[in-house]
Amino acid sequence: MAEIDFSRVKKLNLFEGYYESQLNALLEGATLKKLSHRDVVYRAGDEANSFAVVLDGALKLVKQTASGEDVIVFFASPGDTVATLLMSSEKSVYPVTAVAMGPAQVITIPKRTFNALWTKDQVIMGKINAILFARFSEMQEQKIFVKAPLAIRLARQIVSLIERFSGDSGAVLPIPLTRQEFADAVGSSVESVIRIMSEWSQQGILKTSDRHIEVIRMDRIAEIINGQDKV
Amino acid sequence: MAEIDFSRVKKLNLFEGYYESQLNALLEGATLKKLSHRDVVYRAGDEANSFAVVLDGALKLVKQTASGEDVIVFFASPGDTVATLLMSSEKSVYPVTAVAMGPAQVITIPKRTFNALWTKDQVIMGKINAILFARFSEMQEQKIFVKAPLAIRLARQIVSLIERFSGDSGAVLPIPLTRQEFADAVGSSVESVIRIMSEWSQQGILKTSDRHIEVIRMDRIAEIINGQDKV
DNA sequence: CGTAGCCTTGAAGGTGATCAATGTTTGTGG
DNA sequence: CCACAAACATTGATCACCTTCAAGGCTACG
């Protein structure tokens, strides 16, 4: 645990305002994990003994369908926690697989630390709730677009990711995303995603090089989401 | 508050094991609401001053799409809480509209009671987490089926509702659900839902009278979900 | 006994899935 | 640093699944 970079940890909203001694307590038994692209943090079905806080980079939370296809349930960004709700139950198993997208850093924190210390701290539990609420909102938002045409769902997904990973600063997605992953996230096929994104590239709406996306015409993307692109 | 039926309240897993005096504290300022079909508990956009616990019946949590269509985000069953995660944030607004389906009873509990008393009680917060986790799981499960044919999504939805509202006892859905509501829940159109359910009625898989559904051949429904019905 | 809410059926058409084949880039081991 | 494998992107053709639109019927209830 000594190797955890506190200066980075303290920058997370989650841990803001804590003294180093308090942080030491909250991170009792915690481990810093430096991940490379495609490293697995948790595997669906494994016994849930710890939860994770994302420090840097991104994780995708993936589940498999009966026919073996992947479905991306959520993208976790820095500050997000993963598997927190599992800590309350007696014995349980991770429902999804968490995989790093590009280089990433997470802290894994043992269940016992959560139950012994976190749950007694109303401030941090309030922040956890806020994180959960954000994830809830994202999933509900997605549900609202189920019936929308693929182009709209895709555009919404891109905007959502950019907002969460780049904030308002710029329109470049700092994480590598394959077309397949977009498809898995919006519930579609690679081919369809490619057709739409190629179209957008040709129209100069976005640019993509080596799985990194840059939105050039954010206004056009917004129009597409609002269904005004046919006008 | 005097009018709250404690014998009913105590049966909820959420409040199990509490003395009446403790319950009185947890329900400080709470109100029992007896609802009729289509009564609105919370309206999306209203300021979130309280959260709710479902005692009896069912609520649908609805959001509207840009084009004015309804999307049912979740069905809340007895024991579920609604808007809990909102209580942690300073000032907020309900993200969804909560509407009763058939007669229902809910308790609404003020935000201040939650923050003053609930958050200090680790036991009840653990139970809240379990409730949230169940809702999370349901939403994720649904996401796994986005690409599945409508018949499968519909079958899954019916089974999920029956499990939550009837437990293992029987196969009758005790709440009234229109075809439109099924469509709103699975992200489809009324007509398509009707076509599939009519087919099932003819095959004797289920029976429906006045918006109440009874599954006759649960085995067939299970087969449909597993995609074995074409065999 | 009329209206509102719900259910049903048919026809036409579009979106996007699937299959198949091929090109391109990235990463790795020798 | 090259060569080859693996991962990723692309394009075209075909067609199933649903949506949409339109029109009408049924049932409960004030």
Average pLDDT, chain B: 93
CA distance A25 to chain B (A): 18
Distance, in Å, from the CA atom of B198 to the CA atom of B207, rounded to the nearest integer, reads 9
In the structure, how far is the CA atom of residue A176 from the C1' atom of nucleotide D1, in angstroms?
Answer: 27
Amino acid A1: pLDDT: 46
Amino acid B231: pLDDT: 44
3-state DSSP assignment of residue A127: helix
Q: Are A72 and A62 in contact (CB under 8 A)?
A: yes
Tens-digit pLDDT profile for residues B169-228: 678 899 999 999 999 999 999 999 999 999 999 999 999 888 889 999 999 999 999 987
Distance, in Å, from the CA atom of B101 to the CA atom of B208, rounded to the nearest integer, reads 17
Question: Is the predicted pLDDT of residue A170 greater than 90, yes or no?
Answer: no
Distance, in Å, from the CA atom of B16 to the CA atom of A156, rounded to the nearest integer, reads 43
Amino acid A166: pLDDT: 86
Question: Is the predicted pLDDT of residue B94 greater than 90, yes or no?
Answer: yes
Pick the residue with more confidence: B167 or A197? A197
Mean pLDDT of A34-59: 95
For residue A183, what pLDDT band results from cuts at 50, 70 and 90? very high
3-state DSSP assignment of residue A130: helix
Whether A71 sits inside 8 A of B125 (CB atoms) is: no
Whether B147 sits inside 8 A of A69 (CB atoms) is: yes
Average pLDDT, chain A: 93
Subset of residues 195-214 in chain B with CB less than 7 angstroms from any atom in strand C: 195, 197-198, 201, 211
Q: Does any strand C atom come closer than 7 Å to the Cβ of A45?
A: no
Q: Are B206 and B159 in contact (CB under 8 A)?
A: no
In the structure, how far is the CA atom of residue B178 from the C1' atom of nucleotide C4, in angstroms?
Answer: 15
| DSSP E strand boundaries for A27-184 | 31-35, 40-42, 50-64, 70-76, 81-82, 97-110
Q: Does any strand D atom come closer than 7 Å to the Cβ of A198?
A: yes
Q: Does any strand D atom come closer than 7 Å to the Cβ of A178?
A: yes
**pTM beyond 0.85, yes or no:** yes
Mean pLDDT of B18-39: 94
Amino acid B164: pLDDT: 92
Mean pLDDT of A75-103: 95
Question: Residue A129: CB partners within 8 Å, gap ≥ 6?
Answer: B85, B87, B88, B89
Q: Are A27 and A14 in contact (CB under 8 A)?
A: no
Residue nearest to nucleotide C19 (CA to C1'): A191
Q: Does A139 touch chain B (CB under 8 A)?
A: yes
Pick the residue with more confidence: B210 or B14? B14
Question: Is the predicted pLDDT of residue A2 greater than 60, yes or no?
Answer: no
Measured between alpha carbons, how far apart are the two ends of chain B, in Å? 57
Q: Are A168 and A126 in contact (CB under 8 A)?
A: no
Of B67, B120, B145, Cβ closest to residue A122: B120
Q: Does A2 touch chain B (CB under 8 A)?
A: no
Beta pairing partners, A147:
none
Amino acid B125: pLDDT: 95
Distance, in Å, from the CA atom of B213 to the CA atom of A226, rounded to the nearest integer, reads 37
Q: Does any strand D atom come closer than 7 Å to the Cβ of A217?
A: no
Amino acid A167: pLDDT: 77
Of B63, B122, B132, Cβ closest to residue A85: B132
In the structure, how far is the CA atom of residue A52 from the C1' atom of nucleotide C30, in angstroms?
Answer: 39
Residue B38, token pair as written in the block: 């289509």
Distance, in Å, from the CA atom of A27 to the CA atom of A114, rounded to the nearest integer, reads 9
Question: Is the predicted pLDDT of residue A231 greater than 50, yes or no?
Answer: no
Query: Nearest Cα to A143, choosing from B188, B117, B8, B231?
Result: B188
Tens-digit pLDDT profile for residues A194-203: 999 999 999 9
Lowest mean pLDDT among A11-15, A162-166, B27-31, B227-231: B227-231
Amino acid B1: pLDDT: 47
Distance, in Å, from the CA atom of A186 to the CA atom of A145, rounded to the nearest integer, reads 10
In the structure, how far is the CA atom of residue B196 from the C1' atom of nucleotide D20, in angstroms?
Answer: 17
Q: Which residue of A lies nearest to B186 if distances are taken between CA atoms?
A: A146
Of B67, B87, B137, Cβ closest to residue A95: B137
Q: Does any strand C atom come closer than 7 Å to the Cβ of A187?
A: yes
Distance, in Å, from the CA atom of A112 to the CA atom of A50, rounded to the nearest integer, reads 8
Distance, in Å, from the CA atom of A105 to the CA atom of A57, rounded to the nearest integer, reads 6
Amino acid A161: pLDDT: 95
Amino acid B176: pLDDT: 92
Of B119, B132, B140, Cβ closest to residue A63: B140
Question: Is the predicted pLDDT of residue A228 greater than 50, yes or no?
Answer: yes
Lowest mean pLDDT among A120-129, A181-190, B164-173: B164-173
What is the helix (H) or strand (E) element at residue B53, kind and residue range?
strand B50-64
Residue A49, token pair as written in the block: 């003994």
Between the CA of residue A195 and those of A179, A183, A201, A222, what are the distances in Å?
10, 12, 10, 19
Mean pLDDT of B19-27: 93
Q: Does B13 touch chain A (CB under 8 A)?
A: no
Q: Does A93 touch chain B (CB under 8 A)?
A: no
Query: Nearest Cα to B59, choosing from B28, B26, B94?
Result: B94
Number of H-type helices and E-type strands within chain B: 8, 8
Amino acid B166: pLDDT: 87
Amino acid B75: pLDDT: 97
Q: Are B196 and B206 in contact (CB under 8 A)?
A: no
Tens-digit pLDDT profile for residues B104-145: 999 999 999 999 999 999 999 999 999 999 999 999 999 999
Distance, in Å, from the CA atom of B176 to the CA atom of B110, rounded to the nearest integer, reads 29
Q: Does B91 touch chain A (CB under 8 A)?
A: no
Mean pLDDT of A148-158: 97
Q: If you search the block for the tokens 């305002």, which residue do you land on?
A: A17
